[in-house]
Structure formats: C-alpha cells, structure tokens
C-alpha cells in the first residue's frame, strides 16, 4: 500500500540506536516522511511546544511515560493543542500492568518493540499501513484548541437540547 499523505513521526526513546533502526525499517517500507527524535520526556515536550510542525504520530518508549504517574503522557493529554496527536507506546514490556498503564494514560496503542530487524520492518509496515492509510487523524489547527468548549457542550443533558 502506498503512503499517500504527508506524515511526520516523532520517536521518543532514550536509546539513539532505536532512531536508526526505526529509520531503516521506515525506509524499507517506502516511508518518505519526516522522522523526528526526542531522547527524554522533557525534550519531547520542548519539541512539541517549539512551534515546529506537530508530528502526525508519536512512538513513545514506555520508560519515557515519565515517572510513576506517566507525567509526559498525562501532559500531552492535558494540552488541548497536543492531545489530538496519537501516541503509540513501543516497549519490550508486555506485562498486563504496563499495557493497562499505557492505555489508562491515553496511549492509542501498546506495541511490543521488535527484537529483530525483520520483525521491526514487519511491525513498522503494519503501523504505517494503519496510521497513514487506514485511519484519519486530525491535522493540527486552531480549531483543535476548541475541544474543551466542545466537551463542555457535549456534557450538557440531551433533554435541554431536544425538548420533544
């Protein structure tokens, strides 16, 4: 499947070698978009608030969730201008606790980090096909910052909206 739309991936992982492995796996899958990198939670947040083009997808190493309470992912979800960016946790841990924690903190997926290059290419291909071709993700825009007002609107009782 050809990847037809502009797409930017931000990898947040403490191991810079993961960047190179991901880059190679993306290239083997025909990806021609931008690949950005952050080495820790603070760099991730600084990158996202720097005014650069927001990534279309964040691949986040579990350890970069940020402390016991998942501060980095919690901060992403709390920021109306960032919460639309899908976050996929990629990690070597598939413990039920880590999986549950990832989703509870707002991750859209929890993926086992591949251990071989062949597996990396396969998994990255699946992620590209899903996030670039199968689903529609919102583009960054000022309208996304109005999400809070829409949430408050949708929390009103239906009876007051429809009197019949």
Mean pLDDT in runs of 10 for the chain (164 residues)? Answer: 71 92 95 91 89 89 66 83 91 88 90 94 95 79 40 41 40
Residue 81 maps to a domain: yes
pTM listed for this prediction: 0.80
The pLDDT, as a whole number, for residue 69 is: 52
Q: Give the C-alpha distances (Å, rounded to integers) separating 7 from 70, 112, 131, 152.
A: 26, 22, 9, 31
Q: Are 61 and 14 in contact (CB under 8 A)?
A: yes
The pLDDT, as a whole number, for residue 158 is: 42
CATH assignment of the domain containing 93: 3.40.50.2300
Q: Which is it for the CA torsion 58, 64, 66, 70, positive or negative?
A: positive
Residue 52 maps to a domain: yes
Residue 56 maps to a domain: yes
Residue 2 maps to a domain: no
d(CA 109, CA 103): 7
Residue 3 maps to a domain: no
The pLDDT, as a whole number, for residue 154 is: 41
Range of the domain at 88: 8-161
Domain count, the chain: 1
The pLDDT, as a whole number, for residue 96 is: 93
State the chain's maximal CA–CA distance in angstroms.
61
């Amino acid at each position: 499947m050809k990847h037809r739309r502009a797409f930017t991936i931000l990898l947040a992982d403490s191991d810079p070698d993961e960047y190179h492995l991901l880059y190679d796996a993306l290239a083997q899958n025909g990806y021609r978009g931008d690949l950005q990198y952050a080495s820790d939670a603070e760099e991730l947040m600084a990158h996202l608030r720097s005014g650069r083009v927001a990534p279309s997808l964040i691949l986040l190493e579990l350890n970069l969730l940020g402390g016991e309470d998942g501060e980095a992912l919690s901060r992403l979800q709390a920021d109306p201008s960032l919460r639309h960016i899908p976050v996929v946790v990629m990690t070597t841990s598939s413990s039920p606790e880590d999986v549950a924690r990832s989703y509870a903190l707002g991750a859209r997926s929890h993926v086992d980090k591949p251990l071989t290059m062949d597996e990396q290419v396969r998994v990255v291909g699946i992620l590209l096909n899903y996030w670039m071709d199968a689903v529609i993700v919102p583009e960054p825009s000022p309208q996304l910052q109005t999400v809070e007002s829409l949430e408050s609107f949708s929390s009103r009782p239906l009876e007051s909206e429809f009197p019949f």
